[in-house]
Structure 1
């Protein structure tokens, strides 16, 4: 198959990233690269990863001076994979995921040759052996307009978030918020034109013919839904393919970067509102086209 580049987004937790990279090295064969994007880690782990892999020509570590968020962080790796490494396929992985199949490459190629899918999403096996629930369908635009209006009311955010954020790790809570209303009962059948899980997105040559990466206007939240709308707008196909599998070590996260609770609430509110606003904009544009 064409050259495949794995993009692994790293932040703070070096052991997770090392385990993810090790799983790729064990399960992958020829014609691949690993691009690690250090997303502004403040504990020096980006530099440690550079030193660790400096003698491996298949692994590149990119250091960002700031935390770019989910979309821009991945885009930094995607751009390098496409422009410098000339990769045809790009697989964006959370650093808390593990490859578990020896034929990962072959299954991607087989599906692409069959369907010309722009993006492919695998089955996600959780740490307890259960399967990640399947993403739900996109809701109507009025649902998101109401959600945005609610997010812009500070009092409502205090009621919702005080009990759910104050006593929890900040980024752990962010992860939960990203999943809220995103998943429904798992279905083990291959599906076309669905929202795929953001912890592993495989971009194919069909995607790069019309698009470059994830929408850079978001920091964290709703990236998968926005991508789905943009795929439809560009008449591109997404495929959920349960024959491709990865493991997702959910529940492991970093420490809070905002110590004051009001800072956490403001950050979450603004992050969610901006992402929902982008989603609404994309849906409106899709309707008018």
Structure 2
């Protein structure tokens, strides 16, 4: 089997990243390399991680001079591996733990067709529920316009200082127009990306995809990465695959927990800012031709 590269984006929550890496080293499958991208953490993350892994040849640390966001941060790690001609990459949040010791071995043993670009597995959250798969909400212009109106209303309430209302509306960044993911038991399947998408906390990018394309859609700073990956697959006639037999644990929102010093109104406005910016990005992506999307992702 081929070597697998693992990308972990760290922002502030180095303790979670350390635990995540520890779970990777407990795997049966040891033919891997890890790159940790520290996204300009303003605490001691970079120093602690660098010191911890300075004598561990399988772990590489990259740091950014400023916070470049989720997509660009992960793409930096992806590009590191592409330059080393390692194209089978697991991109995971630092607040995930590989709880199955054969997770990597079974992931690398999967038989996939030559149009599968991304693979997701069961992702168990703190509530014990599976976070995969999610329903798409932004797969057409009408849905995006509806979401845009929603966020503008919420932003107006926020600027008026009516936080008691907006805190309930924007509690987890999931607007009212989004359908909740189904709780039905899932099976291993190809994902219909017109209506479903993989959860972004743990995605395996195949060499079929990464030998040609960047990784994540590069224009967002935060949020909507999963929607854009589904859009990319649609435009480029590629597939996403969900494997129910493999499972990973997701603690969720550790970086957000670390910035508790933000007052609640400021935090809500921060989230809304990026959601509204992403509306325009989503509009542009959905209206792209396959040729335009291919050019965008090959850059």
For Structure 1 versus Structure 2, the TM-score category normalised by the shorter chain is 0.7 to 0.9
Report the CA distance shift for 1:251/1:222 in structure 2 as closer, same or farther (over 3 A): closer
Alignment of 1:15-164 (within 5 A): 15-83=15-83, 85-114=84-113, 116-132=115-131, 134-138=133-137, 139-152=139-152, 154-158=155-159, 162-163=163-164
Gaps of 5+ in 1: none
1:177 corresponds to 2:163: no
Report the CA distance shift for 1:237/1:287 in structure 2 as closer, same or farther (over 3 A): closer
Report the CA distance shift for 1:92/1:178 in structure 2 as closer, same or farther (over 3 A): farther
Paired position in structure 1 for 2:8: 8
Greater CA drift, 151-160 or 68-77: 151-160
> How far apart are residue 255 of structure 1 and its match?
3.1
Report the CA distance shift for 1:165/1:266 in structure 2 as closer, same or farther (over 3 A): same
> How far apart are residue 8 of structure 1 and its match?
0.7
Gaps of 5+ in 2: 293-299
> How far apart are residue 86 of structure 1 and its match?
2.4
Kept in 1: contact 2:163–2:265 (CA 8 A): no
> How far apart are residue 160 of structure 1 and its match?
10
Instruction: Write the distance in 2 (CA, Å) between the matches of 1:275 and 1:185.
Output: 25
Deviations 1:182-225 (A, max 9, x none): 64113321231341000001000111133211112111111101
- Secondary structure (helix, strand or coil) at the match of 2:109 reads helix
Instruction: Write the distance in 2 (CA, Å) between the matches of 1:190 and 1:92.
Output: 20
- Secondary structure (helix, strand or coil) at the match of 2:287 reads helix
Instruction: Write the distance in 2 (CA, Å) between the matches of 1:90 and 1:128.
Output: 27
- Secondary structure (helix, strand or coil) at the match of 1:279 reads helix
- Residue 280 of structure 1 is aligned with which of 275, 279, 283? 283
Q: CA RMSD in A?
A: 2.8
Alignment of 1:202-217 (within 5 A): 202-217=204-219
> How far apart are residue 120 of structure 1 and its match?
0.1
Report the CA distance shift for 1:135/1:159 in structure 2 as closer, same or farther (over 3 A): farther
Alignment of 1:250-269 (within 5 A): 250=252, 252=254, 253-256=256-259, 259=262, 263-269=266-272
Instruction: Write the distance in 1 (CA, Å) between the matches of 2:111 and 2:243.
Output: 11
> How far apart are residue 28 of structure 1 and its match?
4.6
